[in-house]
Amino acid sequence: MPSVRLVRRYVFSSAHRLHSAELSPEENARLYGKCNNPQGHGHNYAIEVAVTGPVDARTGFCCDLTAVDSAVRRAVLDRFDHQDLNALPEFARLVPTGENIARVVWDKLIAEGLPLTSVRLQETRDNFFEYRGD
Ligand SMILES: [Zn+2]
């Protein structure tokens, strides 16, 4: 049974501040630069969610796209869109860097039962973060 990977793109807008409670104010300022600004800043994030499955002989589909859409909406978009990521419990002990956002999205979608193969987060025109689990 041939397996196919389906990749679907979603967008959300969030604010964040890069600041680690483990670091001194000077280290935070040096490491994160203007992203350590106490007022935070925003991004128009895009996530590409990849799921893989065998192509169903009857439907011709590898995954139920409606189920993928509702899982992403429920677990990610409804939680993160137009929110301050630093204020969310998901990031209470985690700096909301692109790396950590990609991992949190992965964990949320795995918990939704999706057959995930990767999560790719685009933070800026030039920055992408890809996570494929451990
Ligand atoms: Zn940023």
Parallel, antiparallel, or unpaired: how do β-strands 128-131 and 83-84 relate? Answer: unpaired
Closest by CA to 14, choosing from 117, 105, 112, is: 105
Inter-CA distances, 6 with 24, 48, 65, 119, Å? 43, 10, 9, 12
Q: Looking at residue 114, what is its pLDDT? A: 97
Rounded to the nearest angstrom, the distance between the alpha carbon of 9 and the centre of ligand 1 is 20
Rounded to the nearest angstrom, the distance between the alpha carbon of 111 and the centre of ligand 1 is 26
pLDDT at 1 over 80: no
Which domains does the chain carry? 3-131 (3.30.479.10)
Closest by CA to 9, choosing from 50, 43, 67, 44, is: 50
Rounded to the nearest angstrom, the distance between the alpha carbon of 119 and the centre of ligand 1 is 18
Alpha helix ranges (H) inside the chain: 25-32, 65-72, 78-80, 98-111
- pTM of this structure: 0.95
Active site residues: 35, 82, 123
Instruction: Name the band, by pLDDT with cuts 50, 70 and 90, for residue 13.
Output: very high
Inter-CA distances, 34 with 18, 41, 69, 85, 129, Å? 9, 9, 35, 17, 20
Rounded to the nearest angstrom, the distance between the alpha carbon of 46 and the centre of ligand 1 is 13
